[in-house]
């Protein structure tokens, strides 16, 4: 029998946080995991052996980085499964292909052959009935200027050295991607509605909305 908390959020739930670089996914992941006493799954940035190289030469390293991220996210997926859920995940696996790989392919910084190989691998690993999708994808959104401010204030050098046009292209692609995404239930949060940096901000209203979304979608799946 699956237990739910006071907001109706099952303790085996898997919630993934999506959104463009710097929008606030890691911060939201920590806030929700603390409030729910859930485990976290973060993407590897600090010890990523390709990320710096990728930002200095997209053409040379985009395929390597995608394969690296895919392997890492799949390992995380296995860990989440082995624990039986109860996780907040920083970035969904769907963004790797729907945003990053596609953008580099479209822009010519990933060859058609490499993109085809990557897509094949992704589709045969992820887009199958054997791959459990999250209970909810929380999409963080805000204005481009606010996102850029956050990205600058976080201060990762390689991101700051990357032209603004790259972040604008990604921002626009995200808007388009989320409007067409239907692989799992989606809940949108505007970053201006919740100031998680303010210690007096409560995540209760977010938890309430999450509970409602998950209850509705699980009822729908059972019916
Ligand atoms: N709700 C918020 N209000 C103000 N600043 C925020 C908020 N959430 C995140 N930030 C800041 O924005 C920057 C990017 O946040 P982060 O969580 O690392 O984003 P992401 O994981 O999406 O790349 C960090 O400097 C963080 O402190
Ligand atoms: N799949 C990816 N391809 C290229 N770059 C990626 C991918 N996933 C994440 N990244 C980059 C973008 C950022 O520089 C860091 C971490 O992202 P964040 O949104 O800050 O968590 O990795």
Domain membership of residue 142 (yes or no) is yes
The predicted structure's pLDDT at residue 140: 98
The residue whose two tokens read 């239930």 is 185
Q: Establish if 9 belongs to a structural domain.
A: no
> Annotated binding site for ATP, which residues?
19-27, 150-154
The pair of structure tokens assigned to 200 is 């007096």
Report yes or no on 8 lying in a domain: no
Beta bridge partners of 4: 10
pTM for this one?
0.95
Confidence of residue 2 (pLDDT cuts 50, 70, 90): confident
pLDDT digits (tens, 9 = 90+) for 80-133: 999 999 999 999 999 999 999 999 999 999 999 999 999 999 999 888 877 889
Q: What is the mean pLDDT of the chain?
A: 93
CATH number for position 139: 3.40.50.300
Predicted confidence at residue 223, as pLDDT, reads 53
Residue 6 located in a structural domain: no
Nearest alpha carbon to residue 21 among 118, 123, 121, 156: 156
* pLDDT, average across residues 44-51: 92
Tokens of 93: 């696996």
- Give the chain's count of helices (H) and strands (E): 10, 5
Q: What is the pLDDT of residue 221?
A: 60
pLDDT at 211: 95
Q: Give the count of domains, the chain.
A: 1
ipTM of this complex prediction, to 2 decimal places: 0.95
CA of 27 to the centre of ligand 1 (A): 6
Q: Is residue 23, in this structure, part of any structural domain at all?
A: yes
Domain range for 40 is 14-222
**Looking at residue 137, what is its pLDDT?**
98
User: CB neighbours of 146 closer than 8 A, spacing ≥ 6?
Assistant: 191, 192
Digit-coded pLDDT (tens) for 128-155? 877 889 999 999 999 999 999 999 999 8
At 18-39, the pLDDT tens digits run 999 999 999 999 999 999 999 9
Q: Atom 14 (ligand 2): residue with closest C-alpha?
A: 159
Residues touching ligand 1 (Cβ under 6 Å) are 19, 21-27, 150, 153-154, 191, 194-197
Q: For position 1, what pLDDT does the model report?
A: 64
Structure confidence by residue, pLDDT tens digits, 173-201:
999 999 999 999 999 999 999 887 787 88
Query: Is residue 1, in this structure, part of any structural domain at all?
Result: no
């Amino acid at each position: 029998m699956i237990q739910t908390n006071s907001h109706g959020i099952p303790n085996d739930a898997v919630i993934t946080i999506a959104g463009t670089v710097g929008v606030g996914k890691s911060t939201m992941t920590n806030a929700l995991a603390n409030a729910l006493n859930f485990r976290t799954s973060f993407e590897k940035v600090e010890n990523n052996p390709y990320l710096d190289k990728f930002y200095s030469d997209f053409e040379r390293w985009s395929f390597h980085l995608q394969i690296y991220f895919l392997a890492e996210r799949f390992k995380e997926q296995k860990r989440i499964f082995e624990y039986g859920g109860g996780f907040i995940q920083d970035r969904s696996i769907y963004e790797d292909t729907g945003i990053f790989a596609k953008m580099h392919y479209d822009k010519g910084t990933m060859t058609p052959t490499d993109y085809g190989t990557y897509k094949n691998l992704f589709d045969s690993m992820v887009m199958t009935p054997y791959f459990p999708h999250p209970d909810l994808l929380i999409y963080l959104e805000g204005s481009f200027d606010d996102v850029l401010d956050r990205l600058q204030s976080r201060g990762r050098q390689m991101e700051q050295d990357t032209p603004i046009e790259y972040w604008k292209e990604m921002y626009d692609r995200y808007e388009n991607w989320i409007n067409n995404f239907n692989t799992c239930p989606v809940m949108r949060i505007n970053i201006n509605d919740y100031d998680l940096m303010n210690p007096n901000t409560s995540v209760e209203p977010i938890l309430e909305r999450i509970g409602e979304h998950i209850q509705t979608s699980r009822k729908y799946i059972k019916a």
